[in-house]
Amino acid sequence: MEHLTTLKILHTVAAALLLLGGLGLAIWTVRGRRRGDAQAYAKLLRRPLLWVWLVMVLALLSLPVSGWWLVHRIGWPLGQAWLLGSSILYTLGAGAVCWLLVRLNRLRQVEAVGLRLTLALAVFSGVCLLGTAALMGAKPV
């Protein structure tokens, strides 16, 4: 298989794993809260779900590297508006995911306080990463 095609597939799989993992964790949390589970947020960082977080973090770290490699192999200039916009959105979304992990760890250790900020971080990171995926899919070259 050609290297560029393999790289595109790996980049797409990493993006899909990141987005599907986030969606799965969100659905799992909403279901737990609807059942009345007060510990739903604390359970997000327990061992079985920790593997989901690990895959998501690995995908989050690999996407900039594989994205830069794709841009370099194809020969697109880095100054294009859609590349810069998606880079900014990705950076903001990745920062929100990191902040969200810190907040979820604190929620695991103490009573659930300030859940609105946690929800806002989750929604913001999801919107940023979906926006990045939309810009990458549209590629107005």
Q: What is the pTM of this model?
A: 0.82
Alpha-carbon dihedral angle through residues 119, 135, 28, 39, given to the nearest 10 degrees: -30
pLDDT band of 113, cuts 50, 70, 90: low
Q: What does the pLDDT look like over 53-81, one tens digit per residue?
A: 888 889 989 999 998 998 888 888 888 88
- Given a cut of 60, whether residue 101 has pLDDT beyond it is yes
Q: Whole-angstrom Cα distance, residue 24 to residue 67?
A: 24
pLDDT band of 109, cuts 50, 70, 90: confident
Look at 56-60, 105-109, 118-122 and tell me which has the smallest mean pLDDT: 105-109
Q: Are the beta carbons of 56 and 22 closer than 8 angstroms?
A: yes
Please classify residue 93 by burial: count the beta carbons closer than 10 Å to its beta carbon, then call 0-12 exposed, 13-18 middle and 19+ buried. Answer: buried
Which residue type sits at 120? A
> Residues 44-53: what's their mean pLDDT?
72
Q: Whole-angstrom Cα distance, residue 39 to residue 44?
A: 9
Q: Are the beta carbons of 64 and 120 closer than 8 angstroms?
A: no
